Amino acid sequence: MNQPPNFSPSTPLEYSLFSPSKAAEQQRLAKDWTYVHQFLSQKYPFPQKVPKFEENEETLKALLALAAFNEKGDEGWGSLCSVDRSCVRELEEIEVSFVCFPCLLVHRIRMSVFL
């Protein structure tokens, strides 16, 4: 006796095609892996190659955490560099004001009075 074809999803691939939640999960994973690969390619610029690794859920979580910590570190470093640039500008302004010899002489006299 011939049975009609079974159209219910039986494999994970077929299931993901019919399940909106599974499709959304696959889309999220693809987006996360794209982000991780872009992050790693920045850390290993050409001609270096990104080391090979197994792409699984545990590795993805670890690499996403590493990327997040790295971004926070970059933000902190950027703030530090900004403060450093600000200090250099301030010192340059002070240095420019002392280019005039009479100004420098007055400054030295004032400083010696306070010593």
Domain ranges of the chain: 12-114
Exposed (0-12), middle (13-18) or buried (19+): which is 85, by Cβ within 10 Å?
Answer: exposed
CA 55 – CA 5 distance, rounded (Å)? 36
Q: In terms of pTM, does the model score above 0.85?
A: no
CA 40 – CA 53 distance, rounded (Å)? 12
Specify whether the backbone of 46 is left (phi greater than 0), alpha (psi in -120 to 50) or beta. Answer: beta
Q: Given CA atoms 98, 100, 101, 103 in this order, what sign does their dihedral have?
A: negative
Helix or strand (DSSP H, E) at 36: helix 20-43
**To the nearest whole number, what is the mean pLDDT of the chain?**
77
Tokens in use for 115?
Answer: 């010593």
Over the stretch 40-85, which tens digit does the pLDDT of each residue have? 999 998 888 999 999 999 999 999 999 999 988 877 777 767 777 7
